[in-house]
């Protein structure tokens, strides 16, 4: 999975949540990605 993760990140993905999805891991990944948003990015998501 680590080699696939590197391929996905190199292609521009922010992260990976592999199956079977752990709810704790999923929430942690969402929080990590949300922390990367610029303040204006949050407004863009809301529209």
Domain boundaries, the chain: 2-46
Burial class from Cβ neighbours inside 10 Å (0-12, 13-18, 19+) for residue 29 reads middle
Backbone angles phi and psi of 16, in degrees to 5: -135, 135
pTM, two decimals, is 0.49
43 pLDDT band (50/70/90 cuts)?
low
Q: State how far Cα 14 lies from the chain centre.
A: 5
What is the sign of the dihedral through the CA atoms of 33, 28, 13 and 21? negative
Percentage of the chain modeled with pLDDT above 90: 4
pLDDT of residue 10: 87
Is the separation of the CB atoms in 35 and 14 below 8 Å?
no
9 pLDDT band (50/70/90 cuts)?
confident
Q: How many whole angstroms separate alpha carbon 9 and alpha carbon 25?
A: 17
Please indicate whether residue 18 or residue 24 has the higher confidence score (pLDDT).
24
């Amino acid at each position: 999975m680590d080699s696939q993760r590197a391929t996905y990140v190199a292609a521009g993905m922010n992260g990976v949540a592999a199956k079977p999805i752990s709810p704790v891991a999923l929430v942690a990944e969402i929080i990590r990605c949300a922390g990367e948003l610029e303040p204006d990015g949050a407004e863009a998501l809301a529209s």
